[in-house]
Amino acid sequence: MTATSSTPCPICGQQDQVIKVSEFKASLADPDSTVNTLLAGKTPEERAAITRRLAAPAKPLPLLPEKPSSGYILTLLFLVALNWGFGVQVIRGEAILLVQVLLLLCMATLLVVAVLFVYKYSMYRKELIVANQPDPEWQRGRDRWKRQYYCLRDDNLFEVNQ
């Protein structure tokens, strides 16, 4: 497995110690790789510093929107139960005027809460899609990282535009 690239370093003009940054981690895991041969002369601190420097840019955690409160569901269930209670009395013809008025109020409230809940939930779904889209700044950083090479001789990180 060869990890050195055919890209010459702009400082020393040689390519024998140039590695592709995005392949560094995989080469490190292979004990027979050129990267490990090249790193053999380095101290553990130097190795750690190089590993940190060549690591892929960390993907930022998405800022997730807040889910609509479960209070909506509880309120809806409560209103359905109330409607049921008043409705049964009205259907049986046992309801006094107050109960009939309460039923109407209860049905109207149920409708309002249901519409509000559907609206909040659809907004939440939309925000969730936006939040899960990859961060453009991170994507640019990652694209740059993929174009980078590193020369161990001069500790030189450089970019190649193909």
In degrees rounded to 5, what are phi and psi of residue 150? -135, 130
Could you tell me the two tokens for 10?
């702009």
Candidate segments 5-13, 49-57, 107-115, 130-138, binder of Zn ion by CB under 5 A: 5-13
Which residue of 3, 9, 28, 35 would you call a contact of Zn ion, by CB under 5 A? 9
Nearer to Zn ion, 13 or 31 (CB): 13
CB atoms within 10 A of CB 38: 19
Q: Are 54 and 144 in contact (CB under 8 A)?
A: no
Which residue of 104, 153, 155, 159 would you call a contact of Zn ion, by CB under 5 A? 153
Q: Is 7 in the site for Zn ion (CB under 5 A)?
A: no
Q: How far is CA 81 from the centre of its chain?
A: 40
Q: How far is the CB of 149 from Zn ion (least distance, A)?
A: 10
Which residue of 8, 12, 113, 114 would you call a contact of Zn ion, by CB under 5 A? 12
Nearer to Zn ion, 59 or 153 (CB): 153
Q: Is 26 in the site for Zn ion (CB under 5 A)?
A: no
Q: Is 151 in the site for Zn ion (CB under 5 A)?
A: yes
Rg (CA), the chain: 32
Integer Cα distance of 143 and 148 in angstroms = 9
